[in-house]
């Protein structure tokens, strides 16, 4: 049995002895180091690739909305390599720092922005179990890390030594300090419904039908999603809230003095965090990696099963034994990831659409929108979500408005497979199956045993 | 690996703190303060105190420092505001700093760390014993360290799942202390939570909020109309 399919973490897989040529490399450093490197590379791919695709999408959508074609030539038909060409151009540019700038802070500011945006991706689950760091305060930490991004922008504006940049930085600081409040409150609304800060659990709880999505949980969460979406527009400095870089008044705002790679870091971070908040919105409100249609779920399950059967058969012909049950879980999670990426991509397209449709607000209109409308609205929606089950329970005797014969279980689906190190005495093997997750920390044992925790029957011995 | 990361972040935290003191440019000081506070939050993450670490990031790094920089940007007259302290101020701040250092060191050295470790080991042993008793498991070697804690979600409490325990403790309920211990001698034992400090802090914040709103409100000119 291939331990890759059974391991809950990459570190677990490396410790359990990976496949032949790789284990020689892995023996050079502790498993934790290799796991960190692999995680960083994977998260980096999810940080960079969607950002690249979205920059291309921005050009295409903007072109179509303005009755142009957008990029058409680079890379063949649709100009799909335009982002890469831009990147190659930007790398070659001279890295300038103005005389009046505070050189150290000027050079460091883009890194703060890009690192905080990148670090937020660590806590984003792409599908069941596909997350770099599964933390139980995941949502809270992700928002905390993302909030550091504004610091880099303010520093960039201040350190540039230019009036335009300073104005951009000040507007950004004022805007972000205000919009953090409704962002936090609307992000807490799904937490109240789900009863967990763990993003993986919040998504798992929305399995089954579309009626289990948190956006359809009650009328307050329905409106909360739109407030959340508006606030994320502002927190990413997207039009109509892009006061920090208002081209018509401030030249380029906080990034006026930047060139080359440092300039592109700001944009990489902006598109990456656009994608991040969209994926966050999809997880919090729109069912995460679940399609919402039970027929599709069973269809995907059978597709994953077929793929697993084919691959498992091929592997067994090659002499590698791999249980098709575990392969099916792997493929199912991959399909789930695709669903989540599609939802997040759709939300980003809406962001782009709004940017090229609405005119920019003035700074005092931005502040009025936040302080006079969004903050009271989010407080009211939060209160409503808290009171909703209480009122329904008193009036109807149940906590949902319509008496659904709900397909999904409103409990998180537990993790299905793990590899557990074997203790010297194997008497307690049955009880181990219950306490697998506790065992994973135990470093003192080296041998591996494969235990199926629940649900999966095949291939456990 | 863990020790290496600890020393790395500890050195960064201390070095950045010294850089805050030695720098004279206000915004650079704020930057080094951010570095120092972030390293402290990484230390919290390493101690599996996820929630505290995230709070440190959100409130100190994300909130306070942004407000600090914002204040400097709005109030400074020149392009790069610097602080030059007079010798008297230097002496004053040295005295205050050393007094605080003495206070903290006396606190650290007055803790009996070995007794704490013994108590912790006893507590874990007792918890394991209770677990064995409940599940009717006979064999003695039983090193499920997290078994006595109430497990919520995917991670064990030792891996940073502290949010729920913190929340209930602030509301005055200590599941982590009380759940395993009832029925040990037959009587229910209730530990104290932190409801009173929580309420005091809440009221304090409310007062601050009302005060700020009062100070910042638009001043209306009182028009005296003579009859």
Is the Cβ of B33 closer than 8 Å to some Cβ of chain A?
Answer: no
Q: Which pLDDT score, from 0 to 100, does residue A461 have?
A: 30
Is position B217 within any domain?
no
Cβ distance B66 to A32 less than 8 Å, yes or no, reads no
Question: Has residue A402 got a pLDDT over 90?
Answer: no
| Cβ atoms of residues A326 and A6 within 8 Å | yes
Residue pLDDT, tens place only, A306-329:
888 888 778 777 766 666 777 777
Judging contacts by C-beta atoms under 8 Å, the chain A residues touching residue B54 are 137, 140-141, 144
| Cβ atoms of residues B27 and B72 within 8 Å | yes
**Cβ atoms within 10 Å of B33's Cβ, excluding its own:** 20
Is the Cβ of A198 closer than 8 Å to some Cβ of chain B?
Answer: yes
**Across residues A92-116, what is the average pLDDT?**
85
Domains in chain B, number: 2
What is the percentage of chain B residues whose pLDDT exceeds 70? 64
| Cβ atoms of residues A4 and A13 within 8 Å | yes
Q: Which pLDDT score, from 0 to 100, does residue A17 have?
A: 64
- Predicted confidence band at A127 (pLDDT cuts at 50, 70, 90)? confident
- Predicted confidence band at B151 (pLDDT cuts at 50, 70, 90)? very low
Question: In the structure encoding, which two tokens stand for residue B137, read together?
Answer: 């498991």
Instruction: Count A/B contacts: CB-CB distance under 8 Å.
Output: 129
Q: Quickly tell me which residue has 């010297």 as its tokens.
A: A424
**Across residues A412-427, what is the average pLDDT?**
46
Q: Which pLDDT score, from 0 to 100, does residue A287 have?
A: 83
Question: Has residue B139 got a pLDDT over 80?
Answer: no
Mean pLDDT lowest for which of A49-63, A310-324, B72-86?
B72-86
Pick the closest to residue A163 from A285, A252, A74, A73 (CA basis).
A252
Which distant-in-sequence residues (6+ apart) come within 8 Å of B199 by Cβ?
Answer: none
Q: Which pLDDT score, from 0 to 100, does residue B180 have?
A: 59
Mean pLDDT lowest for which of A162-176, A223-237, B75-89?
B75-89
Give how far B182 is from chain A: nearest CA, Å. Answer: 23
Using DSSP's 3-state secondary structure scheme, residue A244 falls into: helix
CA A254 from centre of chain: 26
Which residues between 101 and 160 in chain B have a beta carbon less than 8 angstroms from any beta carbon of chain A? Answer: 135, 137, 139, 141, 143-147, 152-156, 158-160
Is position B63 within any domain?
yes
**Across residues B148-177, what is the average pLDDT?**
64
Pick the closest to residue A346 from A57, A49, A47, A123 (CA basis).
A57
Mean pLDDT lowest for which of A69-78, A184-193, A334-343, A404-413?
A404-413
**pTM of structure:** 0.79
Alpha carbon distance A15, A23 (integer Å): 9
Render A47-97 in DSSP notation, one character per residue.
Answer: HHHHHHHHHHHHHHHHHHHTTS----STTSSS-TTHHHHHHHHHHHS----
| DSSP label of A265 | H
Domain boundary among B23, B56, B80: B80
Is the Cβ of B8 closer than 8 Å to some Cβ of chain A?
Answer: no
| DSSP label of A218 | S
Strand blocks (E) in B13-112: none
Alpha carbon distance B53, B38 (integer Å): 9
Q: How much is the ipTM here? A: 0.74
Pick the closest to residue A295 from A413, A216, A212, A208 (CA basis).
A208
Q: Which pLDDT score, from 0 to 100, does residue B137 have?
A: 45
Residue A205 CA: distances (Å) to CA of A198, A212, A327, A408, A409: 11, 8, 23, 8, 7
Question: Has residue A14 got a pLDDT over 60?
Answer: yes
Q: Which pLDDT score, from 0 to 100, does residue B184 have?
A: 56
Give how far A127 is from chain B: nearest CA, Å. Answer: 15
Q: Quickly tell me which residue has 């913190």 as its tokens.
A: B166
Mean pLDDT lowest for which of A104-108, A371-375, A394-398?
A394-398
Computed over every residue of chain A, the mean pLDDT equals: 77
Residue pLDDT, tens place only, A59-87:
888 888 888 887 888 777 787 888 888 88
**Across residues B80-98, what is the average pLDDT?**
82
CATH code, domain carrying B12: 1.20.120.1200
Is position B215 within any domain?
no
Q: Quickly tell me which residue has 């999505």 as its tokens.
A: A213
Query: Cα angle at A184 between A179 and A188, to 5 degrees?
Result: 150
Is position B46 within any domain?
yes
Question: In the structure encoding, which two tokens stand for residue B110, read together?
Answer: 């007055």
- Predicted confidence band at B176 (pLDDT cuts at 50, 70, 90)? low
Is position B181 within any domain?
yes
Alpha carbon distance B42, B53 (integer Å): 7
Q: Which pLDDT score, from 0 to 100, does residue A421 have?
A: 47
Which residues between 150 and 169 in chain A have a beta carbon less than 8 angstroms from any beta carbon of chain B? Answer: 150-151, 154-155, 158-159, 161, 166, 169
Is the Cβ of A140 closer than 8 Å to some Cβ of chain B?
Answer: yes
Q: Which residues pair with B82 in a beta bridge?
A: B25
Angle, helix A163-194 to helix A138-146, in steps of 10 degrees: 170
Residues spanned by the domain of B32 = 2-80
Higher pLDDT, A42 or A8: A42
Cβ distance B62 to A151 less than 8 Å, yes or no, reads yes
**Strand A417-421 relative to strand A448-452: parallel, antiparallel, unpaired?**
antiparallel
């Amino acid at each position: 049995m291939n331990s890759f399919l059974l391991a809950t973490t990459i570190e677990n897989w490396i410790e359990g002895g990976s496949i032949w040529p790789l284990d020689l490399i892995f023996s050079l450093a502790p498993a934790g180091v290799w796991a960190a490197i692999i995680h960083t590379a994977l998260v980096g791919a999810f940080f960079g690739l969607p950002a690249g695709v979205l920059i291309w999408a921005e050009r295409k959508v903007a072109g179509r909305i303005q009755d142009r074609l957008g990029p058409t030539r680079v890379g063949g038909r649709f100009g799909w390599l335009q982002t890469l060409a831009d990147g190659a151009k930007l790398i070659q540019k001279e890295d300038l720092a103005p005389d009046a700038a505070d050189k150290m802070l000027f050079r460091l500011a883009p890194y703060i922005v890009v690192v905080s945006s990148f670090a937020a991706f660590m806590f984003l689950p792409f599908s069941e179990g596909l997350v770099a760091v599964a933390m139980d305060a995941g949502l809270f930490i992700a928002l905390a890390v993302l909030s550091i991004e504004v610091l880099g922008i303010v520093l960039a504006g201040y350190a540039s030594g230019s009036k335009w940049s300073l104005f951009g930085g000040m507007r950004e600081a004022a805007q972000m300090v205000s919009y953090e409040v409704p962002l936090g409150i609307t992000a807490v609304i799904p937490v109240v419904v789900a009863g967990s800060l763990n993003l993986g659990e919040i998504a798992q709880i929305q399995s089954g039908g579309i009626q289990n999505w948190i956006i359809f949980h009650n009328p307050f969460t329905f409106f909360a999603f739109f407030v959340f979406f508006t606030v994320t527009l502002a927190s990413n400095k997207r039009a109509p809230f892009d006061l920090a870089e208002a081209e018509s008044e401030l030249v380029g705002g906080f990034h006026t003095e930047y060139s080359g790679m440092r300039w592109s870091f700001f944009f990489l971070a902006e598109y990456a965090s656009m994608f991040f908040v969209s994926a966050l919105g999809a997880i919090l409100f729109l069912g995460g990696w679940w399609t919402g249609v039970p027929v599709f779920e069973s269809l995907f399950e059978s597709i994953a099963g077929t793929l697993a059967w084919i691959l498992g058969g091929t592997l067994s012909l090659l002499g590698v034994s791999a249980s098709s049950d575990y392969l099916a879980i792997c493929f199912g999670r991959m399909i789930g990831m695709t669903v989540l990426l599609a939802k997040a991509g759709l939300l980003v397209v809406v962001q782009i659409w709004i940017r090229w449709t609405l005119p920019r607000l003035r700074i005092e209109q931005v502040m009025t929108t936040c302080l006079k409308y969004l903050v009271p609205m989010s407080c009211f929606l939060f209160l409503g979500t808290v009171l909703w089950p209480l009122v329904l329970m008193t009036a109807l005797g149940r906590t949902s408005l319509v008496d659904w014969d709900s397909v999904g279980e409103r409990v998180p689906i537990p993790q299905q497979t793990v590899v557990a190190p074997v203790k010297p005495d194997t008497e307690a093997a049955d009880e181990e199956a219950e306490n697998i997750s506790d065992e994973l920390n135990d470093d003192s044992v080296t041998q591996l045993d494969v235990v199926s925790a629940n649900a999966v029957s095949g291939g456990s011995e | 690996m863990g020790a290496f990361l600890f020393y790395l972040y500890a050195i960064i935290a201390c070095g950045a703190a010294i850089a805050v003191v030695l720098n004279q440019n206000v915004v650079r000081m704020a930057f080094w303060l951010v570095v120092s506070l972030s390293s402290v939050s990484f230390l919290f993450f390493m101690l599996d105190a996820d929630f505290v670490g995230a709070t440190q990031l959100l409130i100190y790094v994300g909130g306070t420092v942004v407000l600090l920089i914002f204040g400097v940007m709005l109030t400074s007259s020149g392009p790069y505001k610097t602080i030059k302290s007079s010798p008297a101020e230097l002496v004053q701040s040295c005295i205050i700093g050393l007094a605080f250092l003495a206070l903290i060191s006396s606190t650290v050295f007055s803790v009996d760390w070995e007794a704490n470790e013994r108590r912790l080991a006893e507590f874990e042993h007792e918890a394991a014993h209770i677990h064995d008793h409940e599940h009717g498991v006979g064999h003695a070697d039983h090193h499920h360290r997290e078994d006595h804690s109430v497990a919520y979600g995917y991670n064990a409490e030792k891996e940073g799942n502290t949010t729920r325990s913190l929340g209930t403790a602030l509301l005055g309920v200590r599941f982590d202390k009380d759940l395993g211990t009832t029925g040990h001698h037959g009587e229910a034992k209730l530990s104290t939570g932190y409801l009173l400090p929580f309420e005091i802090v809440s009221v304090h914040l409310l007062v601050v909020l009302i005060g700020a709103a009062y100070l910042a409100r638009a001043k209306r000119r009182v028009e005296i109309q003579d009859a």
